[in-house]
Structure 1
Amino acid sequence: MAKRGEALRAAHLRYAPRKTGSGALHCFVLDCSASMLARGQLALAKGLLIALFDRARGERVEVALICFGGARAELRFGPAVPRWWNERWIEPVGAGGGTPLEAGLARASQLLERAARRDPGRARHLWLFSDGRTTQFPARPAHADHVTVVDCEASALRLGRCRALAQAWDGACIDADAMLA
């Protein structure tokens, strides 16, 4: 428009920054180790995830789900705005083996880094659902703007590792049972 009928010159060019930062990305990292089966913690975490995915669908924000257990971590959903989410989809998520927390968080870190490169203005939330029964104490993922550790520990003797991890990461720690209320 600036050039009108003239020949194109550098002075006619305009830069319009791309609008970014719309919505958010919530990356959920679910501990699927054998210890999460002991007192129904995995079932509780799955129920909470269903509620959070339903809320994300209503708010039209992107989510991703990474499950880790045994010796691996895998991306199970997203990142995308969930169009549907129900028990039939999450029911097959099983548990067993050790707690490769570092592998799960490395996968989440890669996902968050890609999201930061794609849209630097978008808020990136990391949610870790775990009972904290691990000896691994990984570093906070660098591209997570907000961190929430959902403590699923249900043992009579609580180790408090989820709370310690949240404090080390400068994040929040929420008791899973408190999220039900």
Structure 2
Amino acid sequence: MQGAPGKRIAWPQTLAAMRQDVLRAEHLRFVRAAPRGGVLHCFVLDCSGSMLAGQRLSLAKGLLIALFDRASAARAEAALVCFGGAGADVRFGPAVPRWWNERWLRPVEGGGGTPLAAGVRRAAQLLERSARRKPAQQRWLWILTDGRTRDVPARPPGVDEVVFVDFERETIRLGRCETLAAAWGARRLTPEELIG
């Protein structure tokens, strides 16, 4: 979550990858070096009605708490944009999260349509302002959604990394997160892959 791999070996992660095997190059894990200008993680949370099914929004909120804790430990800035119903708004940041807990996220509710384009547009505005303020800062965009939308927004300019966290759980999948991730040259992860 912090930046490019460094040169120091992260031994606990390397030993976990190695398990009972003989140490090989593919087992090596490295300490990630933070970029000199710092990092901003902009989280875009889908609060639409479809995220209420199967407790997806609750899972996403729990995952956000963990991601904000990671950002805080790395002294990275974070921001949160929520979208649902008719629009999108900034709920936090950008700032280094000094405290982050369930009480802060509890008021975030779901319902209505899925204006993904509005959420991405609001995040792009926030990231552009940040780029003018801190040009050397690395900018990450995290989109937490089930992809139940017809919107096909363009990738915001000036974003270094994009990660789609795919909450789609239906038996018949639409696969819109996969399609957008491929179009944007982004990573697509499930919540379980991100936690593990």
TM tier relative to shorter chain:
0.7 to 0.9
Taking structure 1 as the reference length, what is the TM-score of the superposition? Answer: 0.87
* Match 1:72 to one of 87, 101, 109: 87
> Hey, what does 1:174 align to over in structure 2?
189
Aligned CA RMSD, in angstroms, stands at 1.1
- Give the conservation status (yes or no) of the 8 Å contact 2:47–2:83: yes
Q: What is the percent sequence identity of the aligned residues?
A: 60
> Hey, what does 2:70 align to over in structure 1?
55
Aligned partners of 1:21 and 1:161: how far apart in 2? 35
> Hey, what does 1:14 align to over in structure 2?
none
Aligned partners of 2:172 and 2:52: how far apart in 1? 16
Aligned partners of 1:123 and 1:22: how far apart in 2? 7
- Give the conservation status (yes or no) of the 8 Å contact 2:38–2:136: no
Matched residue type, 1:147: V
- State the Cα distance separating 1:102 from its structure 2 match: 0.7
Deviation digits for residues 18-71 of structure 1 (CA, Å, limit 9, x no counterpart): xx9422000000000000001111111111100000011111100000000000
Please, which runs of 5 or more residues in structure 1 have no aligned partner? 1-19
- State the Cα distance separating 1:179 from its structure 2 match: 2.2
- Give the conservation status (yes or no) of the 8 Å contact 1:21–1:120: no
Taking structure 2 as the reference length, what is the TM-score of the superposition? Answer: 0.80
Please, which runs of 5 or more residues in structure 2 have no aligned partner? 1-34
State how 1:14-163 maps to structure 2 within 5 Å: 21-163=36-178
- Give the conservation status (yes or no) of the 8 Å contact 1:21–1:119: no
- State the Cα distance separating 1:118 from its structure 2 match: 1.2
Give the greater-gyration-radius structure (CA): 1
Three-state SS of the structure 2 residue aligned to 1:38 is helix
| Higher RCO structure, 1 or 2 (CA under 8 Å, sep 6+) | 1
Matched residue type, 1:37: L
